[in-house]
Chain A
Amino acid sequence: MIPNDAITTNLRKGVLEYCVLAMIGSGEMYGLDIANGLQQRGLLTSEGTLYPLLARLRRNGQVETSWRESSQGAPRRYYTLTAGGHDSLAVFSSVWATFSASVSDTLNSTTRGQQ
């Protein structure tokens, strides 16, 4: 029996970067909000792992950063999606819809067969 945690971890690995893109795609965000949002959804266990991922997404041209004064103090670095990031997200959304439907369909048919 594979533990639940191992299944979740493996699934999370494949989709995390697209979830980050999706969060940023809904409007510019800064690191802490992205990290908190992902953690609250159970998609990120260690918030610190977000930063290597954000750095990689920026290097790959999927997100870009800008600086803005914050009302509370020091300027913050905000992340926004580039055109390439939007494209990636759109492709993933399409693939995910088909993929998750196929998995659900398979699981349901197997479950029905067992009953």
Chain B
Amino acid sequence: MKHEIDDPQVRHYLAALKARLYQLPADQFEEIVFGVREHIADALERGGQSVDDILAGLGSPDDIATGLATPDAPGPGQRQPIPFAQQPTQRPQSSILWLVGTCILLPFGGFVVGIGWLLGVAGLWMGMRWQLWEKVMGTILIPGGVPAALLLAGLPVRQTLASSGPEGEVIISDYNPLGFSLPEVSFVIILALPILAALYLLIVGLVRGSRQP
């Protein structure tokens, strides 16, 4: 649920806050920014306060970031962490299945009629465990995944052309559809890149997941 606030001062404030909270896990980041944005929207809706007053009451983005310094240790009678439930911002990526599925589809989804990779990209961009730059990296480094890397390198993936010669014999030839072949080292790098990128996304997703609700 977004509260759109069309005020340059508020936008600037929220941008500054996001910059201070950038190192937080994505879900935690979203939760705090959402709370502050909702606070501003509710205060404006209620009336009686200018944007200046509301922002002054909130304190500086640095003040809010300082509020994160409190220890996370459970107090007496507390339960184990529970999911970020009942919020419209909750998405299925909270599950390990979503995370693992995305990280498998990105490098290998291309083998599934080609659309598997697109599903992986959708999972990546809908996911909240990854920062923006990681999503961009995951998309750019893995365009098409391993199948595309194989195609690019032009080694194991070859298409067979069959045609009839003048004598009626069948001529079978392999060819690289791109018309060139990269050296072996480049091939290994190109092949490893999508796998390594997916592995990185999986690890950071799991680490952040263990710290999130």
Task: Mark A residues whose CB is within 8 Å of B.
Answer: 13, 17, 30-32, 35, 39, 45-56, 58-62, 64-67, 72-77, 82-85, 87-88, 90-92
Report B125 CB to chain A, min CB distance, Å.
24
Report B13 CB to chain A, min CB distance, Å.
9
Q: How many residues on B have C-beta within 8 angstroms of the other chain's C-beta atoms? A: 45
Most-contacted residue by chain A among B3, B68, B72, B75 (CB, 10 A): B75
Taking CB atoms, residues of chain A closer than 8 Å to B28 are 55, 59
Interface string of B132-164 (1 = CB under 8 A from A): 000000000000000000000000000000000
- Interface-side segment among B38-46, B100-108, B170-178, B182-190: B38-46
Contact assessment for A46 and B76 in the assembled complex, using a CB-CB cutoff below 8 Å: no
Can you sample 22 A-B contacts with CB below 8 Å? A30-B42, A31-B42, A32-B46, A48-B39, A48-B58, A48-B61, A48-B63, A48-B67, A49-B66, A51-B39, A52-B65, A55-B35, A58-B213, A59-B212, A59-B213, A60-B78, A65-B86, A67-B87, A77-B1, A84-B78, A88-B78, A92-B76
Contact assessment for A52 and B38 in the assembled complex, using a CB-CB cutoff below 8 Å: no
B84 close to A (CB within 8 Å): yes
Bound Cα distance from A47 to B74, whole angstroms: 23
